[in-house]
Amino acid sequence: DAKTTQPNSMESNEEEPVHLPCNHSTISGTDYIHWYRQLPSQGPEYVIHGLTSNVNNRMASLAIAEDRKSSTLILHRATLRDAAVYYCILSPRRGNEKLTFGTGTRLTIIP
């Protein structure tokens, strides 16, 4: 399975944009890039996913490099509620019953 690499932790000021990077240099042509986040004491929740093109939804944007070897999750205006562990996950299908989680990036929001 293709592996992802994320920084262990990041900090950001409240109300500023946050860019969370993910490297996946061994990604295959059919792997989708998914992002989930896990708020304290909760189960993970879906954030966004993409294949090749940049994607936007109400929660975030996903910027995918042209060679697909890296991607960036963008939170446009961080709030305290965005403090969580963010996981970048590759899967061979758009939705998957089997997700392989790494250790993710712990995002701290500074008031």
Q: Which of 40, 43, 66, 111 binds other proteins (CB under 8 A)?
A: 43
Beta carbons of 101 and 4 less than 8 angstroms apart = no
What are the phi and psi torsion angles at 81 (to 5°)? -70, -15
Q: Which of 70, 78, 82, 87 binds other proteins (CB under 8 A)?
A: 87
Q: Which of 7, 45, 51, 79 binds other proteins (CB under 8 A)?
A: 45
31 near other proteins, rule: CB under 8 A? no
As a whole number of angstroms, the distance between CA 29 and CA 11 comes to 32
67 near other proteins, rule: CB under 8 A? no
Distance in Å, CB of 44 to other proteins, minimum? 5
Nearer residue to other proteins within complex by CB, 6 or 70: 6
As a whole number of angstroms, the distance between CA 74 and CA 83 comes to 14
As a whole number of angstroms, the distance between CA 4 and CA 110 comes to 26
Nearer residue to other proteins within complex by CB, 61 or 96: 96
As a whole number of angstroms, the distance between CA 93 and CA 71 comes to 17
40 near other proteins, rule: CB under 8 A? no
Distance in Å, CB of 15 to other proteins, minimum? 27
Beta carbons of 28 and 42 less than 8 angstroms apart = no
